[in-house]
Chain A
């Protein structure tokens, strides 16, 4: 009688080995940033230096903006230059790590092909050999190894991986039509110019058109714009929210319509050997760029060193700092200073003259995890890509550090998982996240990924976590064009400001351009020697 159903299995084929034994225990820890030193800095009481060394320029901050400024000044030559970084390594949000197999990012991990407005970045890419030449049409030729290798992206949707991040599995024709309408709209915005001949949306953002109608978009949330324009279906709205969270740390409801549109319409330089949507990336993410910038700097670098005061003093600037390694106070008396730090830090370092700086700036916290896995997890449908995203996942998915490797063999790898903590207000989320134990954070990461990879825990050997309390600035409504950020960008006497915060958008291109601009302002002055 049982035989009546047995024939159903005729012709079943498959393997007779399958899952692996119980997961081995996962190693890992919560790594930096240097919260202790950061908080000592915030709470005051660090000793004042007894003497101030005479130098030409002090660059405070070793993120991309600070490195760009220091490199530009170094290349000009002839300056006594000091750079000071709070953390034990330079790089800021473009930090990276290294295992025996591969480097991996702790934050920013790619740069889209720079467009015409990003002249400084294009020049940098030429200097670093990222751009190797130009074709007959004048389009840049990118070094192929640095272009993101195919396959670039996959999305886990309805239990399967599909190619690309725009949902198409199980998407109805009406939803598809709306997605197409949205993409066409973004394409037309990408090509649009304002009455001043500038693009409506450019990177760096301050090179966008000054048209008032366009800038008015900064006042409303992106979600309101989408609603008004009839972009309402779930697959599209998920995609848009995903993009906003990816670049800004909040969904479309949290960022301004200008910023949201900027994400879609400002990218896309051209290349002789890649599509406009291509990106350049490295195993270390933008850490590769940080290392190259660092190589071009000839000044002194102080790491693990907390600057606690930057003050004008007799026509020069006094920088007071505390070196955590030696436990001693250090000070410099500089002709010029570049403050390449977040605005809220700049406000604190400057004291009274910095009051009000950064008011209204919002920094959603982030969790970044690096998972060392014995093999890149596969799953049903499309195989592993560089960027692997889960539809309606809690996090943003993961990028594969070994994707850019040229070796034909795939084995151990590192997956970098990103999670903007936008489930609470930034302040509450930050309080919650810094209190997490490693176990809690690990489970959160594994739980999110297990939906696509049930075996992720068994595959993972090591899982390190970084909580970025103030991840990156988020362009909330009104911040880009209706606040004081332009005033904060202007030098204060001999003190220059360089940070992507001043752009309101945390991009490599913004930080780099601001660093170079600050350096140029200093070099333009000429009278530098004490």
Chain B
């Protein structure tokens, strides 16, 4: 290889090194912000420590008397290894060690020192091949261009498409590749040269393995989206189920969305079930669609007249969890294990199409209509399929998101039920962890107005009930479209209304 090509390759490596160096810094800063919060503080301290460490590295380079080329390659490998594993290591260590900050800053200091060593070494390697003014000009040009590239790549490409863990492995691989290439370009000789290639290749494979296995780190990453410690997490084919527990507060999250907080879920579930069921003293058979947590079933079982409850929930992982985990069965009072209760894991829409039984009371407790698939479960087509399973004189209650935040969505569900031939009685309740929440009680025939609540309720009473059916002006009825499969009006209202508060 001629001198010109060598020079060019070495300068190109400056560019790559600069990019890698800045990427590690950005990864550390971002990660610290994710894990520790207060991004201004984290980024300032990370940048400070990193730059200081680079200074230390540059100073240390003064003690290197000879063998710059060999050291340069070794430093490359080390940066590749440490930088490459840095994101993964920090995620793991965050959950394993008590003093996370010393680990974080130690790692940053180490990477910074090594990166600080590189440029002085490279300047010395190149000093005989270029005039001093050209040397300094070119090396710093490539250095700064690399920095620009890194700072653009990181937020626009790496974080959204690869994620932190993969990005760090990727740039580790790049560092090792530069090391391998420079070993060739600088014509390292002797037995060490051979060992270098083997070592470099081994490191590269290791980092590549890490790159492929990066998915494993998802679970670590979840820690910071939840305020309380995660006590149980499971992925089913349908959703990610996460339970967290803080001080006296057990919370269930599905795909990151809060489903209930044990502090106030009784408000939600009592309101979901009793205003309807307490009007039907003759009710014997109850159907619950969704609600695999068994909390609605718990409320249903408070009515001694109820003989059979059928729970249809899509996800066996949910119903299994709420049948087996003691913490959860304490909460749902072992409702799913009751002799009166039968659990079917099926898609509600499909199940309804084949349903032959009828029920005196139906509880429809689906997730909010936040996407087009879920929107179908609130359509005229769905309610038309629901009609035949309601026994004469029976009723159905539907959870209907927040009439305060998503006012149009709430009244859209009401309009859809009415369009399908139901009479409706909308009501709402305040659940602290959710906010103002809405339900619609619907029936094909008029329902009795007098009702008898079961014993032992914590929230509902004859006097609280009266207020629930009154809608203040800020969430009163609005004129909206009916939700059909072919217009999905509800999802559009829901997105727009919730979009305003997010």
Contacts and interface: CB of A to CB of B under 8 A. Distances in A.
B51 A3 contact: yes
Contact of A409 (B143, B160, B347): B347
A10 B374 contact: no
Contacts of B160: 14-15, 18
A406 B376 contact: yes
A2 B163 contact: no
A6 B87 CA distance: 17
A230 interface: no
B47 A7 contact: yes
Contacts of B373: 407-410
Interface residues of A, number: 38
B81 to A, nearest CB: 20
B485 A409 contact: no
Interface string A254-286: 000000000000000000011000100000000
Interface in B450-502: 484-488, 491
A5 B18 CA distance: 12
A407 B349 CA distance: 6
Given A2-B54, A3-B51, A6-B151, A383 B485 contact: no
Interface string A185-219: 00000000000000000000000000000000000
B155 A5 contact: no
B154 A12 contact: yes
A9 B486 contact: no
Contacts of B348: 408
Q: Determine chain A's interface SS by DSSP, over half rule.
A: loop
Interface in B90-126: 91
Given A10-B43, A411-B237, A16 B381 contact: no
A149 B151 contact: no
A9 B34 CA distance: 13
Contact of B485 (A9, A144, A410): A144
A242 to B, nearest CB: 22
Contact of A145 (B40, B87, B381): B381
Q: Determine chain B's interface SS by DSSP, over half rule.
A: helix
A2 B376 contact: no
A149 B148 CA distance: 46
Contact of A17 (B25, B215, B314, B372): B215
A8 interface: yes
Contact of A406 (B29, B214, B350): B350
B151 A151 contact: no
A9 B347 contact: no
Contacts of B166: 16-19
Interface in A118-163: 144-145, 147-152
A278 B29 CA distance: 51
A21 interface: yes
A2 B51 contact: yes
A21 B214 CA distance: 10
A45 interface: no
A11 interface: yes
B484 A8 contact: no
A15 B54 contact: no
B398 interface: no
A409 B238 contact: yes
A4 B154 CA distance: 15
A150 B237 CA distance: 25
Contacts of A409: 237-238, 314, 347, 373
Nearest to B492: A150
Contacts of A6: 22, 25-26, 29, 43, 47, 50, 151
A274 B486 contact: yes
A21 B151 CA distance: 25
Contacts of B155: 8-9, 12
Contacts of A278: 486
B371 interface: yes
A144 B484 contact: yes
A169 B92 CA distance: 43
A409 B346 CA distance: 11
A14 B347 contact: no
Contact of A5 (B148, B376, B384, B484): B148
B242 interface: no
Nearest to B485: A149
Which of A1, A3, A410 has the most chain B CB atoms closer than 10 A to its own CB? A3
A408 B364 CA distance: 14
Interface in B197-239: 212, 214-215, 217-218, 221, 237-238
Contact of B381 (A7, A9, A19, A144): A144
Contacts of B87: 16
B183 interface: no
B119 to A, nearest CB: 9
B260 to A, nearest CB: 20
Contacts of B25: 2-3, 6
A407 B347 contact: yes
A3 B50 contact: yes
A273 B18 CA distance: 62
B29 to A, nearest CB: 6
A16 B350 contact: no
B377 interface: yes
Interface string B363-383: 000100001111011011110
Contacts of A152: 486
A2 B347 contact: no
A144 B217 CA distance: 44
A23 to B, nearest CB: 13
Nearest to B347: A407
B217 to A, nearest CB: 7
B336 interface: no
Contacts of A18: 160-163, 166
Contacts of B371: 383
A151 B488 contact: yes
B76 interface: no
Interface in A366-422: 383, 406-411
A2 B488 contact: no
B164 interface: yes
Contacts of B218: 16-17
A383 B491 CA distance: 13
B61 interface: no
Nearest to A279: B486
B423 interface: no
A144 B379 contact: yes
24 contacts: A5-B22, A5-B147, A6-B47, A6-B50, A9-B151, A10-B33, A11-B33, A12-B30, A13-B159, A16-B87, A16-B91, A16-B164, A17-B215, A18-B161, A144-B380, A144-B381, A144-B484, A147-B484, A149-B485, A150-B485, A406-B349, A406-B353, A408-B373, A408-B377
3 closest A-B pairs by CB: A16-B163, A150-B488, A16-B164
Interface of A: 1-19, 21, 144-145, 147-152, 273-274, 278, 383, 406-411
Given A16-B163, A17-B217, A150-B485, 19 more contacts: A5-B148, A8-B151, A12-B26, A12-B30, A16-B87, A16-B166, A18-B162, A18-B163, A19-B161, A144-B384, A144-B484, A145-B485, A150-B372, A150-B488, A152-B486, A273-B484, A406-B353, A406-B381, A408-B347
